[in-house]
Chains A and B, each alone.
Chain A
Amino acid sequence: MSQPLGEFKHSEALTLGVELELQLVSKRDFDLTRAATDLIDSLKYDERYGEIKLEITESMIEISTLPQSTVDGIASDLAGLRETLRTHCARHNIAVCGGGTHPFHRWPERRICPGERFDNLYQRYGYLAKQFTVFGQHVHVGCTSADDAIWLTQALGVYVPAFIALSAASPFVDGVDTFFQSARLNAVSAFPLSGQCPPLANWAEFVRHFSFLQSCGIASGIKDLYWDVRPKPEFGTVEIRVCDTPLTIEQASSLAALAQSLSRWLLRTRPELHTGLQAHVARYNKFQACRYGMAAMISDPVALCQRPLRESLLELLETLSEDARELGCGHWLKALLPIVNADAGDASWLRARHNLHHNLNDVVRETTERLMAPTSNKSWEHS
């Protein structure tokens, strides 16, 4: 049944919200396990740091922060949610970890969560729903107007490869090294409404486009659009959906800092958009970032050339430093530099641990420890 789009709810400019999809694993062998409904059913938690919710399969759980004006606020909510999960999972003998994919689980063994929405998704998408047991970070950025939200959706589209490469944390699928830095997005791209938001100038055009999709029977609600970046009218935000769930909440906060300072810079400087041209190279650039991470070569459809992503990211971080300072999230943004300079991202960490252990069970065991470690973003240097 089609759901009306509704009014765009106005938010405070550049407020943030972060959603993390996390993996629920057995403490016996660190494979994914059926645990989500048990966990939620017995959860006694007053939602002071945000929500803890079910996701499509029983081996996933989603945490989402409250709307916050600063990245520090996001980090604090994420730490609170992590503590809640730590206490609760300990009582159930379950472990939790980040990462975009579980390195060795067998997707046919996954169980769909009870609920009409999940059941409908399973009926509609069949096995894709089970293969959708992948884990992402979504960052919401508040917009004061619907037109701003559509403009920002288009503008952020160009930076999708940057978010992918910085968050990449899914090199293993089905027990093998995929050679990708982020293999998670390959599971998402199987869905018919995944991809990029088409070139749209303003909210009115978006409403027309959406009602066109509804009339054609393609989409019933905004949740059917699995776009990389999409407006979220009921929250009054633009949602960046391409990041893998990082292995630490500190890294998740740094990605939120990038989203906030980039959005501020874009809205402040309003660079000229070439959405029509970008649409031709978007899929290629996304593939490059997924496959090669920082070593990706990104096509520029305006300058008609390719540029190393690492080079343009270093420039971008430099450009955004002033906005980040103004927003009070400079230290969070700075924490991304080692990933760009030294390939010190989560995908590299996972591969390094695999090279050490030659065993993916041990890799997942260490990712559970990494998520729960209070100073986990520093453990890279020591490992």
Chain B
Amino acid sequence: MIDRLLSPLRSAWESLLERLIFLPPFPESIDTLALFSLLLVVGLLIGEWLHAHAGWPKVIGYVLAGTVFGPALLGWISIEALAQARPMADAALGLLMMEVGRRLDLSWLVRNPELLRSTLSDIVLSFALIFSFALLLVGLSPAWAAATAAVTMASAPAVVLLTIEESKAQGQVTERIILHTALGSAASFIAFAIVLGIIHAEHSEDWLNALAHPLWVAIGALLIAWGAAQLALLIARLLPKRSLAQVFVLVASALLAVGIARMLAVPVFLTLFLMGILLAVRDKHQTLRYTQLPEGHWLLAIILFVIVGASLPWQDFTWLTGLQALGLLVVRAIAKIGALAWSGGSLPLPKRILVGVGIQPLSATAVFMAYEIASLYPEIGRSALALPLFAAAIMELAGPALCRLALRKSGETETAAATQGGIA
């Protein structure tokens, strides 16, 4: 469609080329910065419009923008443009994952062991129920059923963090949503690494990859994360706490980790999540503890969700897969809400259920994880992972709304607190 629109311009340009020697050849692809700007403006406009007029979380608008303008519908964002924009998406997801890692306070589990029980039951129940559903009801092979469970078992850290920031939520439900999301993500990354080996074992006769690939991912991510965290702490120690210079050091170290992870084919989300945890754990002198990401990370987040929206394979949609994805989401919701209702650590039952609702989002990390696994054996992977991708596609729209609903019902958002007290 774009080509058809551009063809008269291309002809005119080429006819001018002979006489105007300074003209470059007709640009065959959009410049990266221009693409960045377009994605940003389109996402921003739709996100802000939906937020202002329908009261929807902005993230939904960003994803819708990507879906509408992406390859599946209008095709204005081409597959090549998506590949070109991938480093920006990696940077955005990386920064958000680092932030979730930094917020993971493991000492809370020691002070409140009931939380450990509830998070373990969330992890075990989510994996077991989704695996059983994919294996027994959908009929996937054990390896791909495990991959489906690994990809979809956890909540979406980026969505959760942005929804919390957007609604300025504070309180126990909010804190526990962050904690369970972070711990669930950690568990899903471990499952993801193991699943990589299982997939290799199922599809390749060479056992070396089945062992080496999970190790490469896990140890590679850990080493890059450790190096980048050490570097950030080392330099930041020379600077005043909470200074702008420290913010730059934090962002630069994170981008360095993103770049190295990309170079070595180690998942960015895992590397930056580990970097966040290491930054929190190894920061004995509170060097970077109080340094926050700049407001500008919202810019990158918009790009991330536009790209995620454009990456969703709506063109492969069938009613059967759609129904199966809905079934997976119902099973997943039962697992999460059930686990939180069973044990929630010194929080009344209604609020525990709200925590269960708040951790429903499924988004960028799942999509990226699914593509990472699918790329191992593209001929099988793409169709085998249609189920988690469609589940993520549905949750891209429903997830932020559910998360915000939970925050509002708990009375922890700014607007809710101004009008009413919330449930006790």
The judgment on whether A and B are partners is yes
Query: Which residues of A line the B interface, CB within 8 A?
Result: 27-30, 33-35, 37-38, 41-42, 58, 90-93, 109, 111-115, 357-359, 361-362, 365
B83 CB within 8 Å of chain A:
no
**Which single residue of chain B is at the shortest CB-CB distance from A28?**
B103
Q: A359–B242 contact, CB under 8 A?
A: yes
Residues of chain A lying within 8 A (CB to CB) of residue B289: 28-29, 361
A93 to B170, CA, bound (A): 13
Interface of B is mostly: loop
Q: A42–B348 contact, CB under 8 A?
A: yes
Give the shortest distance, in Å, between A115 (CB) and chain B (any CB).
7
A34 to B169, CA, bound (A): 9
Q: B347–A365 contact, CB under 8 A?
A: no
Q: B421–A93 contact, CB under 8 A?
A: no
**A34-B171, A90-B112, A91-B111 known; A42 vs B347 contact (CB < 8 Å):** yes
**A29-B290, A41-B348, A42-B346 known; A93 vs B422 contact (CB < 8 Å):** no
Q: A92–B346 contact, CB under 8 A?
A: yes
Give the shortest distance, in Å, between A131 (CB) and chain B (any CB).
16
Q: A38–B171 contact, CB under 8 A?
A: yes
Beyond contacts A34-B417, A35-B172, A90-B112: 16 other A-B pairs, Cβ-Cβ < 8 A, are A28-B105, A29-B289, A34-B171, A37-B421, A38-B347, A42-B346, A58-B417, A92-B112, A93-B105, A93-B112, A93-B175, A111-B417, A357-B241, A359-B240, A361-B241, A361-B286
A37 to B351, CA, bound (A): 12
Q: A115–B421 contact, CB under 8 A?
A: yes
Which of B103, B111, B414, B424 sits near A90, CB closer than 8 Å?
A: B111
Give the shortest distance, in Å, between B161 (CB) and chain A (any CB).
13
Residues of chain B lying within 8 A (CB to CB) of residue A361: 241-242, 286, 289-290
Q: A33–B346 contact, CB under 8 A?
A: no
Q: B172–A38 contact, CB under 8 A?
A: yes
**Which single residue of chain A is at the shortest CB-CB distance from B111?**
A90
5 tightest Cβ-Cβ pairs between the two chains A and B? A114-B421, A34-B170, A90-B111, A38-B172, A111-B417
Residues of chain A lying within 8 A (CB to CB) of residue B259: none
Q: A93–B108 contact, CB under 8 A?
A: yes
Q: A362–B286 contact, CB under 8 A?
A: yes
A365 to B242, CA, bound (A): 15
Residues of chain A lying within 8 A (CB to CB) of residue B346: 42, 91-92
Give the shortest distance, in Å, between A378 (CB) and chain B (any CB).
24
Which of A33, A112, A114, A358 sits near B170, CB closer than 8 Å?
A: A33
A90 to B109, CA, bound (A): 10
B420 CB within 8 Å of chain A:
yes
B43 CB within 8 Å of chain A:
no
Q: B290–A91 contact, CB under 8 A?
A: no
**Which single residue of chain B is at the shortest CB-CB distance from A87?**
B111
Sample 28 A-B pairs with CB under 8 A, ordered by A number. Answer: A28-B103, A28-B105, A33-B170, A34-B170, A34-B412, A35-B170, A35-B171, A35-B172, A37-B424, A38-B347, A42-B348, A58-B170, A91-B111, A91-B112, A91-B345, A92-B172, A92-B346, A93-B111, A93-B112, A115-B421, A359-B241, A359-B242, A359-B286, A359-B290, A361-B241, A361-B286, A361-B289, A362-B241
Q: Mark B142-171, 1 if CB is under 8 A from A, else 0.
A: 000000000000000000000000001011
A358 to B286, CA, bound (A): 12
**Which single residue of chain B is at the shortest CB-CB distance from A42?**
B346
Residues of chain B lying within 8 A (CB to CB) of residue A34: 170-171, 412, 417
Give the shortest distance, in Å, between B290 (CB) and chain A (any CB).
4
B411 CB within 8 Å of chain A:
yes
A357 to B412, CA, bound (A): 32
Residues of chain B lying within 8 A (CB to CB) of residue A111: 170, 414, 417-418
Which of A37, A93, A113, A365 sits near B286, CB closer than 8 Å?
A: A365
A101 to B204, CA, bound (A): 65
Which of B105, B172, B347, B422: most chain A Cβ within 10 A? B172
Give the shortest distance, in Å, between A361 (CB) and chain B (any CB).
4
Which of B168, B422, B424: most chain A Cβ within 10 A? B424
Residues of chain B lying within 8 A (CB to CB) of residue A29: 289-290
Residues 96 to 111 of chain B near chain A (Cβ within 8 Å)? 103, 105, 108, 111
Which of A35, A109, A114, A357 sits near B420, CB closer than 8 Å?
A: A114
Residues 283 to 306 of chain B near chain A (Cβ within 8 Å)? 286, 289-290
Residues of chain B lying within 8 A (CB to CB) of residue A91: 111-112, 345-346
Which of A93, A113, A114, A365: most chain B Cβ within 10 A? A93
Residues 74 to 131 of chain B near chain A (Cβ within 8 Å)? 103, 105, 108, 111-112
Give the shortest distance, in Å, between A176 (CB) and chain B (any CB).
14
**Which single residue of chain B is at the shortest CB-CB distance from A27?**
B105
Residues of chain A lying within 8 A (CB to CB) of residue B103: 28
Residues of chain B lying within 8 A (CB to CB) of residue A35: 170-172
Residues of chain B lying within 8 A (CB to CB) of residue A41: 348, 424
Give the shortest distance, in Å, between A13 (CB) and chain B (any CB).
41
A241 to B212, CA, bound (A): 69
A321 to B241, CA, bound (A): 46
Residues of chain B lying within 8 A (CB to CB) of residue A33: 170
Give the shortest distance, in Å, between A94 (CB) and chain B (any CB).
9
Residues of chain A lying within 8 A (CB to CB) of residue B414: 111
A26 to B112, CA, bound (A): 16
**Which single residue of chain A is at the shortest CB-CB distance from B242?**
A359
Residues of chain B lying within 8 A (CB to CB) of residue A115: 421
A271 to B186, CA, bound (A): 71
Residues of chain A lying within 8 A (CB to CB) of residue B241: 357-359, 361-362
A361 to B414, CA, bound (A): 23
Which of B103, B168, B171: most chain A Cβ within 10 A? B171
A14 to B418, CA, bound (A): 42
Give the shortest distance, in Å, between B348 (CB) and chain A (any CB).
6
Give the shortest distance, in Å, between A164 (CB) and chain B (any CB).
31
Q: Mark B383-422, 1 if CB is under 8 A from A, else 0.
A: 0000000000000000000000000000110100110111
